[in-house]
A = this chain, B = another copy of it.
Amino acid sequence: MHEIAVTLLMRTLSDPTRRAVFERLSREGELTVGVLTRGAGVSQPAVSQHLAALKIAGLVRERREGRRAHYRAEPAGLAPLLDWFAHYSTFWPERFDQLEALLKDMD
């Protein structure tokens, strides 16, 4: 099915530093490269490279404003991963029941 997309997403999110960038964008909204670099624990080029990888995977969107580049999370890019999960949840009903309960609590 979406094997290639799943592979790309898994590989992109498997790096802790890169995943932390994505998680921070998810939590804090739109951020510039400079702001993301402060607290990332790696150099600015490293952050730019992680953002490029996230962009290729469809997990992030860029908005240029003058010399600043603003990035924001694109959670819709997780769709293939969620589909993969839903497919294999057939073999794991109990755990998904918990998720269902969790989702109801969020309403």
Contact B95 A103 (CB under 8 A): no
Stretch at the interface among A33-41, A45-53, A78-86: A78-86
Cβ contacts under 8 Å, A42 to chain B: none
With an 8 Å Cβ cutoff, the count of chain A residues facing the other chain is 36
A43 interfacial contact with B, CB 8 Å: no
Task: Give Cα distance in the complex from A106 to B93, angstroms.
Answer: 9
CA of A95 to CA of B10 in the docked complex: distance in angstroms?
19
Q: Once the chains bind, are A75 and B99 in contact (CB under 8 Å)?
A: no
Identify the A interface with B (CB < 8 A): 3, 6-7, 10-11, 13-16, 19, 23, 26, 73, 75-76, 78-79, 81-82, 85-86, 88-93, 95-97, 99-100, 102-104, 106
**A-B contacts, 17 listed (Cβ < 8 Å):** A7-B14, A7-B15, A10-B11, A11-B14, A23-B88, A75-B88, A75-B91, A76-B92, A78-B92, A78-B95, A81-B85, A82-B85, A82-B99, A85-B85, A86-B103, A90-B106, A97-B103
